[in-house]
Amino acid sequence: MHTFNSSNIDTSTLLQEALQAAERACREILNVYTTGDFQTESKGDSSPLTIADKRAHEIITTTLKSTGLPILSEEGKTIPFEERRNWEYFWMVDPLDGTKEFLKRNGEFTVNIALIHQNKPVMGVVAVPVTGDVYYTSSDGVFLKRKGVAQKLEHRGRTNLQQTGLRVVASRSHMTDETQQFVNGLVQPSLVSSGSSLKFMMLAEGAADVYPRYAPTMEWDTAASQAIVNAVGLKVTRQGSSEELVYNKENLLNPGFLVS
């Protein structure tokens, strides 16, 4: 595999590759979704893995191989840190984010593809197989392609956590004590809920104001979404800090974080 240096990176070409990979993966996931034969097995951490995860992974890696950039994915997470620590650019992929939502058949799952440069997500594609919506970053900002039409998402101003009636993205079924504590500190908040990366996309679209996530996630769960919310002016900061999440750590587990 040849390596790139930053001088010959063409992000617009890479974006087209990522969009194509996401589109193909969405089609494959929908094929499985409509058959209902998910061939589910359990991963090491007891979370579910379906035939759709595996097929989406194969399609994305095959499509992105032509870019010559390395790929770090949930399905290929065993690459040693010694090997990946010097990657300047690489793809970070979650072929099916929200497998539990997929199994519930509620449509709230996504395909996530991010381009990472020096530990930061600099491009993101989040595609929603069931609705056909695709969120992506480009040099002109963030776009949502819905029913074939791309619309630019507005740049969002700062959220004042003291203001009344903030819309908080929280999971009703997985409300941790720390998240509840955060919500309790707000003035008359309203809770809104969604699955997978769609939580981030609600903030990108302006349908929610703040997203506290004080429970475990992995780097591939957040990379593409962080690129998108960053590009509309939001930050994904580590719990209790103003530092943003970084990528390609030795341990790929994220700390708790806040999107606002």
Q: Per-residue pLDDT for 22 more than 50?
A: yes
For residue 17, the cross-strand partners are: none
What confidence tier does 77 reach under pLDDT thresholds 50, 70, 90? Answer: confident
Q: Using only C-alpha atoms, what is the Rg of the chain? A: 18
Closest CA to 124 of 110, 137, 141, 108: 137
Q: pLDDT at position 174, please? A: 66
Residue 147, C-beta contacts closer than 8 angstroms, at least 6 positions apart: 132
Place 216 in a pLDDT band, splitting at 50, 70 and 90. Answer: confident
At 150-185, the pLDDT tens digits run 999 998 877 889 999 999 998 766 678 999 999 999
Q: Cα–Cα distances in Å, from 126 out to 82, 87, 206?
A: 29, 23, 16
* pLDDT at residue number 46: 66
Burial class (CB in 10 A: 0-12, 13-18, 19+), 107: middle
What are the pLDDT digits (tens) for 182-194?
A: 999 999 999 998 8
At 41-54, the pLDDT tens digits run: 887 666 788 899 99
Angle in degrees, 0-180, between the axes of helices 51-64 and 11-35, rounded to the nearest 10: 160
- Give the separation between CA 162 and CA 228, rounded to whole angstroms: 25
Tens-digit pLDDT profile for residues 220-255: 999 999 999 999 999 999 999 999 999 999 999 999
All domains in the chain, ordered by first residue:
6-152 (3.30.540.10), 167-259 (3.40.190.80)
